[in-house]
Homo-oligomer: A and B are copies of this chain.
Amino acid sequence: MSFKTPSQYLEEMRNLKRTIYAYGEKVENYVDHPVIRPSINCVAKTYEAALTPEFESVMVAKSHVSDKKTSIFNITYQTKEDLIQRCRAQRLLPRLTGYCSYRCLGSTLLTALYDLTYEIDQKHNTEYHKRFVEHLKYIQDNDITVSKSMTDVKGDRSKHPSEQADPDLHVRIVEKRKDGIVIRGAKAHQSGAVASHEHIVVPTRTLLESEKDWAVVCAVPADAPGVVHIFQGGPEEAKIMMGDGGNQKYGTCSTSLLIFDDVFVPWERVFMCGEYELTGTYIFERYSPIHRIAGSACKGGVFDMLAGGAQALMEYNGIRRGVAHLRDKLVQLMSIGEICYGTGIASAVMAYKAPSGAMIPDPIMGNASKIFAADNIYEAARLTTDMAGGLIATIPSWKDYQNPETRKYMDKYLKGVPDIPVEHRMLLFKFLQTSISQSSMCPNVVLGAGTGEIGKIGYYHNVDMEPKKKFVQVVTGILGEEELDKKEYVKDLEY
């Protein structure tokens, strides 16, 4: 077994020479930077969890390429059980940090690319799959954290990559050499990029034949020359910069504007180079269905924390257990999380085998889940705010609590029920403030893999309306019973 300890991981991060800018400065010691460290702590927690005996059945799986015990985030999914386990891991981690694991996007990519490379090879007689499996073994053996580099900066939204005034507005190959390729461009909203060992670059949209230069998949080491981060923090990150965050240890929404400024990638790390044809299939039918279950299941954990925090705070506020409208809101809030998790599980149960043998979750169910989550995240913020009360918005600063002149007033006037220290009540108000603020602002939560609109597009792309129409036509007598093969009735119910 090759599992890394949190401190080994931390050490490796310290050894990486990255170029990171934040708040107008070049960051020298990024590992200890107040808004970057929390994402590193979140990833460290995934390593700790994998070594925690009680969590082994959730965090540890078996690699089918090496037969060795491997992190659930680094295998490629071959069975429904693998996928269900992934859902469970996604729900567990927010319970440990109150926040994001930062492992979901890169992890999802491994299975998607496992299949994509296989399918490209089938079509083009290339050898990407073998190359990718080798790289996968390297990732597994070294217990590496991978981050996904997908969302291009896009420029003018009405134009294709090749039509932009600046061709670099989508990452592209600017040079092919004997030993590798050179890429240029930038990816936006790179969640947890600062906490990973490498970045896997993939296209963000369906490409045309004239856009082969943009059809590139490759793995870039975190410290490759030319990789530049500009940290993208929102309001909550400013609060953490000031030492006044509600989840100072884990709660930064860490994303980078990640620039590839003519970065060289050797051929053994290139897994697509010009084969534009499968980009749409890969995005809508491989990558996004897997990501859907991760993004759905983690909401279960995120909402467990909102509900747990709200329940604790109501008790601290002296609210009696039976107050009907609050019980109602608590149940509504928890239901949202439960439905996200449940539809993730169901998508796993209804998974199917892709050509490579990879197990792909049901995209219909996954996209239904995404649409639901996107509509309900703000509802969760509303419900939590209603339960917590006004101080969720206006709880004063820790710094005022450390100042004896103001602490005396806060100890007196921020008291809830007599037996709870004011400090505990403040901790909860601040934790929920952070959580709500990020529910409505953090791209990890709100925009993870796109808005609800993307879910609708994904749903419509994958659904077959014909059988549904015919069921009705048979019942109404427009079609005779014999005109519809009975297998059509149960095709999508097989599992």
Contact = CB atoms under 8 A, between A and B. Distances in A.
SS of A interface (majority)? helix
A235 B468 contact: no
B443 A440 contact: no
- 5 pairs of A and B residues whose beta carbons are closest in the complex: A24-B399, A308-B468, A324-B324, A342-B346, A156-B318
Contacts of A151: 390
A465 interface: yes
12 contacts: A23-B400, A92-B489, A168-B412, A232-B393, A232-B394, A305-B472, A332-B371, A339-B368, A341-B346, A386-B452, A431-B472, A436-B441
A16 interface: no
A385 B238 CA distance: 20
A247 interface: yes
A188 B413 CA distance: 9
A443 B429 CA distance: 14
B413 A465 contact: no
A439 to B, nearest CB: 8
Interface residues on A, range: 35 or more
A424 interface: yes
A451 interface: yes
Interface stretch (A102-110, A134-142, A278-286, A455-463): A455-463
A178 interface: no
**Of listed A247, A324, A346, residue having the most chain B CB within 10 A:** A346
A228 interface: yes
A253 B433 CA distance: 14
Contact of A304 (B311, B439, B471, B494): B471
A327 B395 contact: no
A338 B318 contact: no
B338 A339 contact: no
A382 interface: yes
Contacts of A344: 346
A124 interface: no
A247 B476 contact: yes
Given A247-B475, A405-B21, A156 B232 contact: no
A65 interface: no
A490 B54 contact: yes
